[in-house]
Amino acid sequence: MGGTDPEGVVMYWRPGCTYCMALRLRLLFTRLRYTRVNIWRDPDAAAFVRSVADGNETVPTVTVAGRAMVNPSKRQLLEAVRAHAPHLLGR
């Protein structure tokens, strides 16, 4: 997979990442639709994360309509979705 979804939200994560689990829990009741990509199973995704995280595999890295955010808070992520992909929030 790698890369981004130009219209949607993609969360890049890896098993055991407490920051990833925390963000996923915070998003549980938001109705936000997003795709999850395990960077340990997708070398292209891992390379993409390194390309936007100063060479590190920092997760969660999230893209919103192609715009990358490294370790965003729930608030930062939802603000980006409202600004760039409001159709993903559901009603």
**What is 9-84's CATH number?**
3.40.30.10
Tell me the average pLDDT across 50-64.
97
To 10 degrees, what angle do helices 74-84 and 18-27 make?
60
Domain boundaries, the chain: 9-84
User: Is pTM, for the whole model, over 0.85?
Assistant: yes
Q: Report CA 79 to chain centroid distance, whole Å.
A: 13
The whole-angstrom separation of Cα 91 and Cα 12 is 25
Tens digit of each residue's pLDDT (9 = 90 or more) over 20-46: 999 999 999 888 989 999 999 999 999
Give the containing element (helix H, strand E) for 19: helix 18-27
